[in-house]
């Protein structure tokens, strides 16, 4: 599998966790756009948003996506990367896009169990379950539009990896 694999989905769906495991199995490079962006900017996403606003962060995110895209890579993307039509088109045209799909209850459970303090500013001032529910309602169609394949991300990480390898093998064989 030499084409880049882009993992898309909301916060907590497992893009980083599953991406790392998938890269290990496929002996590919692993890149996390949020991580790469923060390292290169020398500041956290929360700081960028606070100082420069969401628009600036989104522009940096698009530049990051294009900079990290390379053959034999697994690329874990930020949850909002699919908001920009140019990002959706770029991923579809330059690799294979996998949507890690999980219900709100699972996402909330994971985010509550492993809150990554300061990693991302809250998108709204609402309770977590309401925020996750609203964000997913707004973005689910965009994740599906961007994706070549949708997998069930509520399964344990190793099972999600097997699902991804299976759809990729089937896609290669067809």
Nearer to ligand ADP, 4 or 174 (CB): 4
Q: How far is the CB of 79 from ligand ADP (least distance, A)?
A: 7
> What x-and-dash track marks residues 5-44 binding Mg ion by CB under 5 A?
----------xx----------------------------
Question: Looking at 132, 160, 164, 168, which residue binds ligand ADP (CB under 6 A)?
Answer: 160
CB of 7 vs Mg ion, minimal distance in Å: 9
- 77: CB partners within 8 A, 6+ apart: 6, 7, 8, 15, 33, 65, 91
Residues 11-30 that bind ligand ADP (CB under 6 A): 11-18
88 binds ligand ADP (CB under 6 A): no
Chain contacts with Mg ion (rule: CB under 5 A): 15-16
């Amino acid at each position: 599998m030499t084409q880049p694999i882009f993992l898309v989905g909301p916060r907590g769906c497992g893009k980083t966790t599953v991406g790392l495991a998938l890269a290990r199995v496929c002996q590919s490079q692993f890149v996390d756009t949020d991580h790469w962006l923060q390292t290169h900017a020398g500041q956290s996403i929360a700081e960028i948003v606070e100082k420069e606003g969401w628009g600036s962060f989104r522009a940096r995110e698009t530049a990051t996506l294009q900079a990290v895209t390379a053959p034999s890579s697994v690329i874990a993307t930020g949850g909002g990367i699919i908001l920009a039509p140019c990002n959706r088109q770029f991923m579809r045209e330059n690799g294979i896009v996998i949507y890690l799909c999980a219900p709100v209850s699972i996402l909330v459970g994971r985010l509550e169990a492993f809150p990554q303090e300061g990693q991302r500013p809250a998108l709204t001032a609402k309770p977590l379950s309401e925020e996750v529910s609203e964000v997913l309602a707004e973005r689910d169609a965009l994740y599906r539009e961007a994706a070549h394949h949708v997998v069930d991300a509520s399964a344990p990480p190793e099972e999600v990896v097997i699902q991804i390898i299976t759809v990729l093998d089937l896609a290669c064989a067809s």
